[in-house]
Chain A
Amino acid sequence: MNSVSLTDVLSVLPLETILWSILGLLFVGFAFYSMILLWHWKAYSTGRFTTVASMFTYLVVGSVLLAIMALAVVWLSAV
């Protein structure tokens, strides 16, 4: 029986396509989830400053993480 190395597996898999698909799904999920979350806060919150500050923090950090994922895929393509 031939042993298959990790290098072989990585070189055969269409990694970029898989990663872009995962990123796309996460992006859609994040956008939909954020829409619900922000609508809730806007509709029901009883403290304006904390609500706006939290909305800002949530969206900025979420976007940064998505950007890191996109950069990782671009990096992977360059390797």
Chain B
Amino acid sequence: MSTSSFQLQKGEQVIAIIRRHWFRLAVVGFIDGCVVALLLIGLVVLDTFVLSEVTAAGGLGQLLPLSLFVLAGSSLILWMHFFSVWSDHWLDAWIITNKRIIDIEQKGFFQREVSSIPLSRIQDMTVTTEGIIAMWLHFGDVRIQTASITRDLIMRQVPFPEDVREHVLSVLALHNTVTLS
């Protein structure tokens, strides 16, 4: 497997690809949906009152297509906004292989950070779940402490963080067994 951002080494196999939990994406989708719904309600109310006044005065019936135009245009902008958030969600990933953990972070459209930590450098792993929603929907952070002095790797808002931790530990145990033998 290869993408333009990273290349697997010889004998390296992908064991798991982990992405952020869908909760943040759902919140953005819900807010965008609410904005469209509020706009729709506002335009219906405006049309009901203003259109009746205009029609009664023998005036124009232009408000209905105009409202449709505004509603479709706003929905298009919100649709594009939602997909930029979705794009960020989908392109951020942590790839666990039998040799290392690759951390891919998309920052906006034109900045992408790819770093990797060899399994042999992992020292400890901590799982943090904060808040009632995170507890209920089973997502949290997994901090991987390494022998590196630069920084720890943090998998933020991953689904089932305990399982991720166990998974990485089992891969690590297998890696250590292979290395020692």
Interface residues of A (CB under 8 A from B): 5-7, 10-11, 15, 19, 22-23, 26, 30, 33, 36-37, 40-41, 43-47, 50-51, 54, 58, 61-62, 65-66, 68-69, 71-73, 75-76, 79
Given contacts A22-B73, A33-B80, contact A7 B87 (CB under 8 A): no
A71 cross-chain contacts in B, Cβ below 8 A: 68
> Are A10 and B60 in contact, CB atoms less than 8 angstroms apart?
yes
A-facing mask of B126-163, CB < 8 A → 1, else 0? 00000000000000000000000000000000000000
B68 cross-chain contacts in A, Cβ below 8 A: 68-69, 71-72, 75
Provide the bound-state CA to CA distance between A77 and B90, in Å: 42
> Are B80 and A62 in contact, CB atoms less than 8 angstroms apart?
yes
> Are B5 and A44 in contact, CB atoms less than 8 angstroms apart?
yes
Instruction: Give me the 6 closest cross-chain CB pairs, A-B, nearest first.
Output: A7-B59, A72-B69, A75-B65, A68-B72, A76-B65, A72-B68
> Are B83 and A58 in contact, CB atoms less than 8 angstroms apart?
yes
B104 cross-chain contacts in A, Cβ below 8 A: 44
A65 cross-chain contacts in B, Cβ below 8 A: 72-73, 75-76, 79
Q: B3 touches which one: A11, A37, A46, A75 (CB < 8 A)?
A: A46
A-B CB contacts (within 8 Å), total count:
101
B180 cross-chain contacts in A, Cβ below 8 A: none
> Are B76 and A66 in contact, CB atoms less than 8 angstroms apart?
yes
B50 cross-chain contacts in A, Cβ below 8 A: 6
B5 cross-chain contacts in A, Cβ below 8 A: 43-44
Sample of 4 further A-B pairs with CB below 8 A, known A40-B87, A72-B68: A11-B60, A43-B4, A44-B106, A65-B76
Q: A5 touches which one: B17, B57, B63, B80 (CB < 8 A)?
A: B57
CB distance from B31 to the nearest CB of A (A): 18
CB distance from B47 to the nearest CB of A (A): 12
Provide the bound-state CA to CA distance between A10 and B61, in Å: 10
A11 cross-chain contacts in B, Cβ below 8 A: 60
A36 cross-chain contacts in B, Cβ below 8 A: 109
Provide the bound-state CA to CA distance between A51 and B133, in Å: 28
Which chain A residue shows the least CB distance to B110? A36
Which chain B residue shows the least CB distance to A39? B109
Given contacts A44-B3, A72-B69, contact A10 B90 (CB under 8 A): no
Which chain A residue shows the least CB distance to B93? A46
B17 cross-chain contacts in A, Cβ below 8 A: 46-47
